[in-house]
Structure 1
Amino acid sequence: MTRTYLPGILAMAAIVVASNILVQFLFGQWLTWGAFTYPLAFLVTDVMNRLYGASAARRVVLVGFVVGLICSLIGTQIMGEFGLLVTIRIAVASGTAFLVAQLLDVTIFNRFRDGAWWRAPLVSTLISSAIDTALFFSIAFSASLSFIHPATDVAWATEALPLLGAGPVAPLWISLAVADWSVKLAIALIALIPFRLLTARLTARA
């Protein structure tokens, strides 16, 4: 690691810690406050990738993964109102989704690096955030994957309800996943503005 990467490392660590804390607090019926901070991890990865290349971005991702792992391990030792703050299954889901999606983001960004300035961050974030959502919610809550940690009770998440309260009947975790990805989609579009400003400013200083 070099001092050049330190701002990205600190930003990623702060986002991961904040998201692990804020995921404990509900926002409406389908989301938690963590849904609004976590997508910023993709912004950090993309800015680092644009400024310093894929190797630097992967280093920042690995730091985020380690910080997230530490947060999860701490969470498995803390009892909340409804049990452990973080179950083993959720810890596995969180770590797997983060690492796979963020590394995929780096790869896709590189594929579109030479196109229009917005293409690489937008395409990489849209695809990788979709994978992130699919991996996390299916690993954490799908009844078909209960073998990951049979002791984790996910009955509440598999309850059949109308999708987002109005659509076809589906397990509750599907509604949670759709709502989560919708936020990621919105933030991916909004994040193009700070991405452009940050990369332009930092490139000019170089």
Structure 2
Amino acid sequence: MTRIHLPGILAMAAIVVASNILVQFLYGQWLTWGAFTYPFAFLVTDVMNRVYGQSAARRVVLAGFVVGLICSLIGTQISGEFGPLVTFRIALGSACAFLVAQLVDVSIFAAISARPWWRAPLVSTLIGSTLDTILFFSIAFSGALSFLEPANDVSWAGEMLPLLGQGPKAPLWMSLALADWTVKLSLALIALIPFRLITSNLRQPS
């Protein structure tokens, strides 16, 4: 690991820490404020991949993973209104989703990194974000995986409600997942602008 990787590591760490804090605060009925910060982790990964290559991107991902584990560990020791802020299932879902989604993002980006410039960051982020959402919400809240933490009652997440308040009935956690996924996809498009600006600046000859 060299100094040139440090900004990426610090940026990833800041995003992970901020998201772990902001996920405690609701935004509307289906989202938390953390939903608006976490997707930028993919931007950091893609910038590192474009400028410094797959190896550097993976190092940044692993650094973010370690920071996430530390945040989860701290969260398990803090009690909220309904128990620990972070349960085992949430910690497991968060860790698995982050690591798998980010590493898949790195691999896909590298595989299609040829021109046009926007294809690799957009496609890799869309696929990575989709995996992230599916893994986190199913591991953390699906009733089918209740055996992962039998003492943790997540029956509230399985309550059958209209999807996003107006669609067909589905478990509540699916509405939460769909709302989160929609934000990720929207930010994937928006992030193309800073991706282009940052990578163009970093790749300029000194």
TM-score, normalised by the number of residues in structure 2: 0.99
What is the aligned-residue RMSD (CA, Å)?
0.6
Partner of residue 112, structure 1: 112
Q: Which amino acid in structure 1 is aligned with residue 184 of structure 2?
A: K
Q: How many residue pairs get matched?
A: 206
User: How many Å apart are 1:82 and its aligned residue?
Assistant: 2.0
Partner of residue 190, structure 1: 190
Structure 2 residue 175 is matched with structure 1 residue 178:
no
CA distance in structure 2 between the aligned counterparts of 1:75 and 1:54, rounded to whole angstroms: 31
In the TM superposition, 1:142-181 aligns within 5 A as 142-181=142-181
Q: Which amino acid in structure 1 is aligned with residue 118 of structure 2?
A: W
CA distance in structure 2 between the aligned counterparts of 1:46 and 1:176, rounded to whole angstroms: 26
Structure 2 residue 101 is matched with structure 1 residue 101:
yes
Structure 2 residue 109 is matched with structure 1 residue 135:
no
Q: Which amino acid in structure 2 is aligned with residue 191 of structure 1?
A: A
CA distance in structure 2 between the aligned counterparts of 1:204 and 1:148, rounded to whole angstroms: 49
User: How many Å apart are 1:115 and its aligned residue?
Assistant: 2.5
Partner of residue 50, structure 1: 50
Q: Runs ≥4 in structure 1, deviation > 6 angstroms?
A: none
Q: Any idea what the Cα deviations from partners look like across 1:115-158, whole Å, max 9, x if unmatched?
A: 21000000000011000000000000000011111111101100
Q: Any idea what the Cα deviations from partners look like across 1:43-85, whole Å, max 9, x if unmatched?
A: 0000000000000000000000000000000100100122110
User: How many Å apart are 1:175 and its aligned residue?
Assistant: 0.1
In the TM superposition, 1:56-135 aligns within 5 A as 56-135=56-135
CA distance in structure 1 between the aligned counterparts of 2:151 and 2:64, rounded to whole angstroms: 28
Q: Which amino acid in structure 1 is aligned with residue 102 of structure 2?
A: Q
SS of match in other structure, 1:120: helix
CA distance in structure 1 between the aligned counterparts of 2:74 and 2:110, rounded to whole angstroms: 34
SS of match in other structure, 1:170: strand
CA distance in structure 2 between the aligned counterparts of 1:86 and 1:8, rounded to whole angstroms: 26
Q: Percent identity?
A: 76
Q: List runs of 5+ in structure 2 lacking aligned partners.
A: none
Partner of residue 201, structure 1: 201
CA distance in structure 2 between the aligned counterparts of 1:151 and 1:136, rounded to whole angstroms: 19
Structure 2 residue 8 is matched with structure 1 residue 11:
no
User: How many Å apart are 1:205 and its aligned residue?
Assistant: 4.4
Deviates more, 1:174-183 or 1:150-159: 150-159
